[in-house]
Structure 1
Amino acid sequence: MTQATSDEQKTGRKIALLIAGTGVAWIVINAIGAAMGWTTRTLALFDLAAVAAFGWAIWMIYGLWRSRREKQDE
């Protein structure tokens, strides 16, 4: 098992912050929207933005995994 490099650790932290920040922001926006009476259509826009951010995080995780596999093969 190889040790993660500093760049990989930084990337992992960025991914974790993206996931946590997206989750918190989505919850807060939904709470504000419910309190202010936003339409379902407006809330759905923020839902789609959250799904896009989570998808981006998955893509970043895949890239990190792939780069670690390539280093492992060397």
Structure 2
Amino acid sequence: MTTEASDRDKALARQGRLVALVIAATMVLWIGAQWLGSAMGWQSRFAFLFDLAALAAFFWALVVTYQIWRKRRET
């Protein structure tokens, strides 16, 4: 394995870990925001705001995961 390939694999692994962290943090924060909103009696529009933020984070994770998949297939 060449150094260039090794560096590329490390970069892809780093991106994969970042995606995993974003997905896990998004789930925890989204569930916490939903619970906090219901416990404090916030209006439903705030729940939709948290939902949209979570969807944006999941969409970003999906796009980056697709990019990682495409880069892995190039070899």
TM-score (norm. length: structure 1): 0.87
Corresponding position of 1:69: 73
Tell me the equivalent position of 2:55. 51
Aligned counterpart in structure 2 of residue 31 of structure 1, from 35, 41, 45: 35
Could you tell me the TM-score, scaled by structure 2's length? 0.86
Which of 1 and 2 has higher RCO (CA within 8 Å, sep 6+)? 1
The count of aligned residue pairs is: 69
Give structure 1 stretches of 5+ with no counterpart: none
1:14 aligns with 2:28: no
How far apart are the structure 1 equivalents of 2:42 and 2:63?
31
